[in-house]
Amino acid sequence: MPSDKEFFETNPMLKQINKYVNKETNEELRDKLENKPILTFNELMSLPTQEDNFLIENLLWERQVVILLAREKVGKSILSKHMACCLSSGKPFLDTFHVKRPVRVLYIQLEGDMYETNDRLKRMQMGVDINPNNFFFMFKARMFLNIEEEMQNLCIEIDLMDVRPEVIFIDPLYTAIKGSISKDDVASALIGNLRLMQSRYRCAMILSHHNHKPIRSKDGWLIDEGDDAIMGSSYLKNFANHVILLTEDKKTKLRTMSCTTQRNGEVFKDIKLEMIQPEPLMFKLYHRGAMMSDNELMKKILIYGKEFNCEIMAQMTGLAEGTIQNKFTELKISGLITRGKRGFWKVKEVK
């Protein structure tokens, strides 16, 4: 007769129940420890691991902060709404990047008006899946989140939702600040309040923000600063887990979504996008160069012989990372590859 320990370890149903209970216990432990002012070393080491806790693969993880950076009229608000729609429905972002599960999204809009948003989302729905039960909007003509009292008032309003938002969008960030965003004390107050908000709701945050005015060399050439062109104090860039820079080629109208500032090294490096409008209103990956069949790509993967990612296969094939990511999705659906360690893929074993 098996011991109690063996019985619980070998019974599939009890293993599932135990997994769920442990998940709940982990959440309680995480909340308890995060609210303690001082942790012992053992308490710090007892924090639950957060493997594969992404919300959007290669883009957004639970309880992280992303800054979506672009100049005006490039399309960052459309891109962030597209992202919010996919998070609400659990459908792949750009039909490529896996969304782990549907989540509740709160979109705080601080410029434009609700009628413009109404029109954009009606056109976006023609090409992007949305779960209306997971999508919440807040429109504010004036809100200063670096002021403690105003942040408290915002949290009181969010509490009235009766459900906890899992991702909060703020679009755009610069209008949520009283004073000069270039001053470190103003930025520090804003970051402190955003941290408290993030801790209160245990949420991820996506902050849409603007570049500062272009800088030219002595010869009159525009200087490409990348995401160092962020408007305001450098504290903002340091606050984010990673910064997504959206730029536009004025000749081709293609957008490039790139990420050079990141802490975990798993965010995509460079992806080309094209905006589809007026109906549907959405972004999609741009595929450049000659296409490659699934069989040809599988040959490259098998030749490589180890776990791989988009960057590795892009170098081996000469295709864009966005094209490779799309191919990975197709190969996964076909049962040929599966996810390996974080950020990598592997050939699926045949049983």
pLDDT tens by residue, 273-323: 999 999 999 998 887 655 677 788 888 888 888 888 888 888 888 777 777
Residues 62-72 have a mean pLDDT of 93
* Nearest residue to 62 via CA among 194, 205, 262: 205
Q: Which of 150-164, 223-237, 285-299 tops mean pLDDT?
A: 150-164
The answer to whether 237 and 230 are in contact (CB under 8 A) is: yes
Mean pLDDT, all residues of the chain? 85
**What gap in Å lies between CA 74 and CA 60, rounded to an integer?**
21
Tell me the H-state helices in 68-183. 76-89, 114-124, 148-159
Q: CATH number of the domain that 339 lies in?
A: 1.10.10.10
Asked if residue 302 and residue 263 are part of one domain, the reply reads: no
pLDDT tens by residue, 180-203: 999 999 999 999 999 999 999 999
pLDDT value of position 8: 44
Neighbours of 88 (CB within 10 A): 24
**Residues contacting 165, CB < 8 A, separation 6+:** 104, 105, 106, 136, 158, 201, 203
Q: CATH number of the domain that 167 lies in?
A: 3.40.50.300
| Count of domains forming the chain | 2
pLDDT value of position 30: 74
In a domain, 144, yes or no: yes
Asked if residue 264 and residue 310 are part of one domain, the reply reads: no
Residue type, 172: P
**Residues contacting 326, CB < 8 A, separation 6+:** 95, 96, 285, 287
Asked if residue 187 and residue 75 are part of one domain, the reply reads: yes
pLDDT value of position 268: 74
Residue 17's pLDDT band (cuts 50, 70, 90):
very low
pLDDT tens by residue, 113-128: 899 999 999 999 999 9
In a domain, 184, yes or no: yes
Residues 205-224 have a mean pLDDT of 84
In a domain, 80, yes or no: yes
Domain span holding position 306: 294-347
